[in-house]
Amino acid sequence: MKKSRKLKKERLLDIFRDMYKIRYFEDEVYYMFLEGKLPGTVHQCQGQEAVAVGVCSALRKNDFITSTHRSHGHSLAKGMAVDKAMAELFAKKSGCCGAKGGSMHFADIENGIIPSIAVVGEGLIIGPGLALAYSMKNTDQVAVTFFGDGAVSTGAFHEGINISSLWELPIVFVCENNQYAASTSFDSMSPVENVVDRASAYNIPAFKVNGMDVLEVYEVANKAISKARSTGGPTLIECETFRYKGHSRSDPQQYKDKDEVEFWKERDPIDNYKKLLIKKEIVSEKEIEKIEKEVEELIKDAIKKAEQAEKPSVEEVSNYVY
């Protein structure tokens, strides 16, 4: 366990706690959607937890991220309170955006989360703006832009990475290659085999990592973030991962075959990390169970609070237009 040696037990358990929190949150949300308790739609990230947590574990509170339509995992990993996230999904006033944003626009200025951007690719062009401010103000903050494999084909991908490299901005571009843009496979839409292959066009370093291995993600992200922090400019990281649920609530995923799903589930980021921690005797099964229990209570409590919370008032509907 070479990589984890650098991290103390407490940090290693935090990583487990955060990943489990995202998984349990998303699973509860999934069932509540099926029961019709929540309005709108939802894009879930079960299977991709190691990317969000691996990267955000290497960030500071005042580093800002841009997320996507699939924003729950990134936001929780970056420090958003479960209560605020859950209340937003319930469309309650106490939600992270006062229920003006919703599932696709989670925001939390205290924890470095700009409103997540649900037009695919556009975070790639806003992230450099965050980083430009850090560069001009001479702070040592770093911006991280999360995006999916679908975003790689947008013009924003080109313009965002191009300008970041040109101006050596303190930003890390994190591609969650979960193999599918909605129902369309990455293979069928990309003329190059890997997202990282594109980095040479911008003269920036790029790394492809196993996005199911949280410590590997952390390791690579940590280096890229440190490099950005010392204004060594941007890095592109491609994390190979898999989304267990459909693209959104109405997707039955008939386009995925069983073997493929099995392949990825055997690599489940949480199960495997848990096994590793126990095998290496960093933590006992009992301790893990205790953490799981705490997380489950936290989320159940958030659901209860959200159910009882106030709806936003129509009198406030015009606030903050300008």
Partner 1 sequence: MSTNNRNLSMAEALREALYEEMKENDEVFLMGQDIGTPNGWGGPFTVCRGLVEEFGSERVRNVPISEKAIVGCCVGSAMMGMKPVGEVQYSDFLFTCMDEIVNEAAKMRYMSNGQYKVPMVFRAPTGATTRGAQHAQSPEGMFMHIPGLKVVAPSNAYDGKGLLKAAIRDDSPVLFFEHKLLYGAKNRDESDEIEANTHVPEDDYIVPLGKAKIKKSGNDITMISLLYTVHLALQAANILKDDGIDSEVIDLRSLAPLDEETIMKSVEKTKKVLIIEEDNKTLGWGAEIAALIAENFQNVKIKRVAALDVPIPFAPNLENYVIPNKENILNEVEKIFV
Q: Where are the beta strands (DSSP E) in 80-211?
A: 143-148, 171-177, 180-181, 184-185, 206-210
DSSP string, 252-292: --TTS-HHHHHHHHTT-HHHHHHHHHHHTTSS-HHHHHHHH
The answer to whether 105 and 71 have CB atoms below 8 angstroms apart is yes
Burial 295-309 (b: 16+ CB within 10 A, else e): beebbeebbebbeeb
Nearer to partner 1, 93 or 227 (CB): 93
The answer to whether 84 and 93 have CB atoms below 8 angstroms apart is no
Nearer to partner 1, 114 or 288 (CB): 114
Out of 13, 28, 41, 101, name the contact with partner 1 by CB under 8 A.
Answer: 101
Give me the torsion for CA of 24, 28, 34, 35, rounded to 10°: 170
Site size toward partner 1, by CB under 8 A: 38
Nearer to partner 1, 55 or 99 (CB): 99
Nearer to partner 1, 138 or 188 (CB): 138
The letter for the amino acid at 218 is Y
CB of 165 to partner 1, least distance (A): 11
Residues numbered 130-169 forming contacts with partner 1, rule: CB under 8 A: 130-134, 136-137, 143, 155-156, 159-160, 162-163, 166
The backbone torsions φ and ψ at residue 196, rounded to the nearest 5 degrees and listed phi first, read -65, -20
> Is residue 98 involved in binding partner 1 (CB under 8 A)?
yes
The answer to whether 65 and 145 have CB atoms below 8 angstroms apart is yes
Out of 26, 63, 108, 238, name the contact with partner 1 by CB under 8 A.
Answer: 108
Q: What is the DSSP letter of 113?
A: B
Residues numbered 110-129 forming contacts with partner 1, rule: CB under 8 A: 114-115, 117, 119, 122, 125-129
CB of 59 to partner 1, least distance (A): 15
Nearer to partner 1, 156 or 277 (CB): 156
CB of 156 to partner 1, least distance (A): 6
Nearer to partner 1, 34 or 119 (CB): 119
CB of 42 to partner 1, least distance (A): 17
CB of 213 to partner 1, least distance (A): 31
**What sign for the dihedral angle of Cα 57, 61, 67, 70?**
positive
Nearer to partner 1, 125 or 212 (CB): 125
Q: How far is CA 250 from the centre of its chain?
A: 21
Residues of this chain that bind partner 1 (CB under 8 A):
64, 97-98, 100-101, 105, 107-109, 114-115, 117, 119, 122, 125-134, 136-137, 143, 155-156, 159-160, 162-163, 166, 319-322
